[in-house]
Amino acid sequence: MSKPINTAMPSSTNASSNSDTDSPLITVVMPCFNAEVYLEEAVECVFKQSYPRVELIVVDDGSGDSSYALLQQLAKKHPRLKVLQQENAGPYPARNLALAQAQGELIAFLDADDYWAPDCLSKLFKALLEGDADLSYCGWQNIVEGGEDGPPYIPPAYEDGDIFAAFLKGCPWPIHAALTKRSLIEQAEGFSTRCFSSMDYDFWLRLSAISQEIVRVPEVLAFYRWHNQGQISSIKWRQVIDALRVKTDFIAAQYRLLSHLSPAQLGDVTAGFITRQAYDAFWKRDLVSAQYLFRALLRNGYWKKADLKYILPSLLPPPLFRGLVRLTGP
């Protein structure tokens, strides 16, 4: 377990009591790229938290809209808002930049287009403290712009089972649905930047290797917006291939921690994972993703004889592959 934190509970549920020095400071890290539409709501959601001591560090990631100007105006209103800038490099370098200046004993992440329930941080902190844990996590809901929202989702209590077996199946929670001790993040040396669409997954996996002292808050407190403004998670094939690399890298690095898992279990979360994703994309007629994923099956040696019917056509140029699939039908 990482080093202990100040064990004082917040003495007030009023968001205006930011002068309460008895509670440990929570640093909220927020990357921002062209998020002017949602940015003010995200910032206000942080400072309206019932938890009494919060600082927010926002890193403008080379935005081309008015995000940075808006942040400068918001900083005049909120003394605990620190605004940084970097040339466009992506959210993970931005988070690392913010982490280098974080003052809090605890860290939470919130993207500039997402938001929390007003008591999110208070409830995550209370659970972390009462559970003597290094990380607390909660449920979330996908908010779909111009469509039907996803159902509220509360994840299982991973701490009651095999954390590694569960985490290797997929990312356990989105980036903004957890509160973590800063010391734990420092041991992990922040975010890697090698697989951009799965670096939050990589982050949680690497933290799990350092500490398994986690605790769930069985409530939906975090809200993730789905929209069409260049989200990393919108490209299925890239997300799947990056997730596969994260899994295989973690298995290779932590083979001693995972020695209790059978070859069949490890095969299911690697070869089985990408095989299922390839066929799912194919039958949903996401042929761009299907082609990339069938090629990845071949490249990684995960294929079986029955898969060749789909893999061999995927080696054709994309227009020919798509035309062949449409011509032959199901």
Q: How far is it, in rounded angstroms, from Cα 158 to Cα 273?
A: 20
pLDDT bin (cut points 50, 70, 90) of residue 2 is: low
pLDDT bin (cut points 50, 70, 90) of residue 21 is: low
Q: What is the DSSP annotation of 158-180?
A: GGGS-HHHHHTTS-SS-TTSEEE
Q: Give the single-character DSSP code of 253.
A: H
* Tokens describing residue 192: 């890697």
> Which whole number is the average pLDDT over 183-208?
93
Residue 13: predicted pLDDT: 37
The residues near 279 (Cβ < 8 Å, ≥ 6 apart) are: 290, 310
pLDDT bin (cut points 50, 70, 90) of residue 20 is: low
Residue 109: predicted pLDDT: 98
Q: So where are the chain's domains? A: 26-233, 235-328
pTM of the model: 0.89
CB atoms within 10 A of CB 158: 20
Residue (of 41, 218, 38, 204) closest to 127 by Cα position = 218
CB atoms within 10 A of CB 162: 13
Helix (H) or strand (E) holding 12: none
| CATH of span 26-233 | 3.90.550.10
Per DSSP (E only), the strands in 186-297 are 214-226
Strand partners, 61: 86
Please, what is the average pLDDT of the chain?
92
Is residue 329 packed enough to be buried (19+ CB in 10 Å), middle (13-18) or exposed (0-12)? exposed
Q: How far is it, in rounded angstroms, from Cα 205 to Cα 210?
A: 9
Q: Are 32 and 39 in contact (CB under 8 A)?
A: yes
Say what percent of the chain tops pLDDT 90.
85
Q: How far is it, in rounded angstroms, from Cα 191 to Cα 204?
A: 10
pLDDT digits 0-9 by tens, 215-237: 999 999 999 998 665 444 458 99
pLDDT digits 0-9 by tens, 44-100: 999 999 999 999 999 999 999 999 999 999 999 999 999 999 999 999 999 999 999
Task: Check whether 16 has a pLDDT greater than 80.
Answer: no
Q: How far is it, in rounded angstroms, from Cα 108 to Cα 221?
A: 13
